[in-house]
């Protein structure tokens, strides 16, 4: 995530790129030895199948001892409210961030009713608002990313058993965590190509800018100030701006790190397409040691599910389905909508299936771009 290259995989054939790799703070890279030479004295890597099994077990361990979910209202009923609330949130964040860009203090207290509404929506049915908030285009990414992280922080706070006051503080911190990006020039923030070392350093200055803005703003408490400054820190001390590690990082900062990365990974950006939710979760499981606090990450997995809403899956029956909601019985048996038969290679009448009550089950996670389906239309958002 935190590197100046506009692609995560590329052929290394430029001395300048080699120098950047050596000096930008990355600790390791993967070498595809089927396309190039390996390094001398290399360590024999585990097979892809072994690595996949290891990550699967990691996610299963995270899902163990699930906290029984509260009674929810139907997702379709809450989705209608969530759509309106998303637009309301976008307008509120856009207004606040515009004030910050103009060099003015922002009225943090004025956003409290919005955070309360998002909290109430998450309580009624968390999937509805989290699904809606994940849908964003390139132009409104910065604003809706803040709304999405607010919702994820609230949902994660509930999973962690925080008090209502702490949950609201977490939501406000998520809403404001990226306000410092308003001080980053658009040509750097929205650059579609590779960042220079100098441009990457400018990007890395946004947490300090955010802290400066909140520090003079009415209603900003210590939790928001902490998250805005430290949501890019890592538990191994390799993050920024202060290279904090271990117990130096507050619980709220650790929560912010997980929620920020997940929404960033699953969103389309000017320089990359978003990953599928399940793929993003698997990558985060691979990075967990060093990047994230283990307890917080496990709680996050329980919050969004091993197969997060919006994940395209193939069922053992041969049908393709999209996950629409988690069930209280198990994170392995979500509610899905089956809509395509791989056996006949043709669409079928959409059918909602509660896998916790069905003999069918998930066989694999599929890539949506491979099948060229409009999952938003299938889900009905």
CATH code of residue 260: 1.10.3210.10
pLDDT for 230: 98
Question: Two tokens at 143?
Answer: 């604003």
- Do 271 and 362 lie in one domain? The reply is no
Proportion of the chain above pLDDT 70, given as a percent: 90
- Do 167 and 278 lie in one domain? The reply is yes
In this prediction, residue 381 has a pLDDT band, given cuts at 50, 70 and 90, of low
Q: What is the tens place of the pLDDT at every residue in 189-225? A: 989 888 899 999 999 999 999 999 999 998 899 999 9
Mean pLDDT of 242-264: 96
CA separation for the pair 309, 323 (Å, rounded): 5
pLDDT for 51: 65
Which of the listed residues 247, 273, 304 is the one where a domain comes to its end?
Answer: 304
* Preceding amide of 241 cis, omega within 30: yes
The pLDDT mean for the chain works out to: 88
Assess if residue 279 is contained within a domain.
Answer: yes
Residue 331 has pLDDT above 90, yes or no: no
- If one counts the domains in the chain, the total is 2
Q: What is the tens place of the pLDDT at every residue in 126-140? A: 989 998 888 888 778
In this prediction, residue 69 has a pLDDT band, given cuts at 50, 70 and 90, of low
Q: Which of 161-170, 182-191, 204-213, 361-370 has the lowest mean pLDDT?
A: 361-370
Give the Å distances, CA to CA, from 107 to 10, 148, 325, 336.
44, 20, 35, 41
Domain region containing 81: 75-304
pLDDT for 139: 76
Q: Which residues pair with 236 in a beta bridge?
A: 245
- Do 145 and 282 lie in one domain? The reply is yes
- Do 130 and 212 lie in one domain? The reply is yes
Q: With contact defined as beta carbons under 8 Å apart, do 84 and 118 qualify? A: no
pLDDT for 114: 97
In this prediction, residue 178 has a pLDDT band, given cuts at 50, 70 and 90, of very high
Residue 274 has pLDDT above 70, yes or no: yes
- Do 300 and 372 lie in one domain? The reply is no
For residue 298, give the nearest of 263, 258, 329 by alpha carbon. 258
Q: Beta-carbon neighbour count of residue 277 at 10 Å?
A: 24
pLDDT for 222: 96
pLDDT for 182: 96
Residue 106 has pLDDT above 60, yes or no: yes
In this prediction, residue 261 has a pLDDT band, given cuts at 50, 70 and 90, of very high
Mean pLDDT of 20-44: 74
């Amino acid at each position: 995530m935190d590197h100046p290259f506009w692609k995560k995989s590329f052929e290394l054939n430029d001395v300048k790129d080699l120098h950047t790799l050596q000096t930008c703070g990355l600790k390791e890279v993967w070498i595809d030895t089927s396309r190039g030479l390996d390094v001398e004295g290399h360590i024999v890597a585990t097979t892809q199948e072994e690595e996949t099994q290891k990550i699967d077990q990691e996610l299963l361990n995270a899902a163990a001892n699930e906290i029984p979910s509260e009674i929810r209202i139907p997702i379709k009923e809450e989705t209608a409210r969530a759509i309106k609330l998303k637009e309301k949130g976008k307008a509120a964040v856009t207004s606040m961030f515009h004030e910050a860009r103009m060099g003015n203090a922002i009225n943090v207290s004025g956003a409290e009713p919005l955070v309360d509404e998002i909290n109430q929506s998450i309580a009624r049915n968390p999937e509805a608002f989290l699904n809606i908030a994940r849908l964003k285009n390139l132009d409104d990414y910065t604003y809706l990313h803040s709304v999405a992280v607010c919702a994820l922080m609230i949902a994660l706070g509930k999973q962690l058993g925080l008090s209502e006051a702490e949950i609201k503080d977490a939501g406000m911190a998520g809403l404001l965590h990226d306000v410092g990006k308003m001080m980053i020039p658009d040509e750097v923030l929205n650059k579609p190509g590779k960042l220079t070392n100098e441009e990457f350093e400018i990007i890395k200055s946004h947490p300090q800018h955010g802290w400066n803005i909140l520090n003079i703003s009415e209603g900003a408490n210590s939790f928001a100030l902490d998250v805005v400054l430290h949501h890019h820190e890592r538990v191994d001390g390799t993050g920024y701006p202060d290279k904090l590690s271990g117990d130096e990082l507050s619980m709220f900062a650790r929560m912010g790190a997980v929620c920020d990365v997940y929404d960033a990974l699953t969103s389309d950006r000017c320089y990359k397409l978003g990953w599928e939710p399940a793929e993003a979760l698997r990558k985060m499981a691979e990075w967990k040691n060093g990047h994230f606090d283990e307890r917080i990450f496990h709680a996050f997995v329980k919050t969004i599910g091993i197969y997060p809403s919006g994940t395209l899956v193939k069922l053992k029956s041969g049908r393709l389905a999209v996950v629409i909601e988690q069930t209280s019985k198990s994170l392995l048996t979500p509610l899905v909508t089956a809509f395509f038969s791989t056996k006949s290679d043709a669409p079928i009448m959409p059918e909602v299936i509660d896998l916790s009550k069905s003999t069918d089950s998930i066989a694999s996670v599929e890539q949506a771009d491979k099948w060229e389906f409009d999952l938003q239309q299938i889900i009905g958002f």
